Amino acid sequence: QIFASDPGKRMGYVDLKTAESLVAGYLAGDTDYIEAHKGDVHTRMTRLLWPEELPWTGDDKKDKVLAKNHCPEWDNVDGHDYRFQAKRIVHGSTYGQSPFGIARLMHIPQRVASAAQNAFFSAYPRLREWQKYIYARVVEGLPIVTPFGREVTLLGRPWDDHTYKQGLALTPQSTVGDILNTALFRVWHRHDPALI
């Protein structure tokens, strides 16, 4: 399908592919993780998780092609290339999945998930500290406050892993939504003929 804007209007596309992980980096105060987002973060994570698996060049563009054209021997399904695997492992790790959980969801060996997650948190330890902070808030029934000032107290069972994972997802997802909504509101407020 093709979408065309109304006469005199323009359509835009906002790429939010790494927004949540970048917000998590800022929430954790992990400057190295924030810095990784200044390039192709998914390719950089692939190099981090499997430094010896492919002949990396250090150039994000070249290494992206390399990572997307090679599948690991432990999951050689078409489309399950190294970069694809890194994205899933990093997002799963950020949002509280254990190596067992990642292995089960991705249908990969647990040893692979465990080694990759260890490499990730070794490189970005402040993300783990942020997770501990969120865990403590959830267990104590305290509200989680987003950068936009939203206060949310999760009403699930505080001892339930599911509630903890909701807490981890809440702030990055809510913050990205608020940033996008604020930007769209400003565009509308500036360009709506009824307001000019």
Give the pLDDT of residue 12: 77
Give the pLDDT of residue 26: 95
What is this structure's pTM? Answer: 0.85
- The C-alpha angle with vertex 88 and arms to 183 and 168, in degrees rounded to 5, equals 60
Give the pLDDT of residue 134: 95
Give the pLDDT of residue 6: 86
Two tokens at 70?
């090679």
Rounded CA-CA distance 82/146 in Å is: 33
pLDDT digits (tens), the chain, 196 positions: 677 888 887 777 777 779 999 999 999 999 999 999 999 999 999 999 999 999 999 999 999 999 999 999 999 889 999 999 999 999 999 999 999 999 999 999 999 999 999 999 999 999 999 999 999 999 999 999 999 999 999 988 888 889 999 999 999 999 999 999 998 898 888 877 777 6
For the chain, the residue count is 196
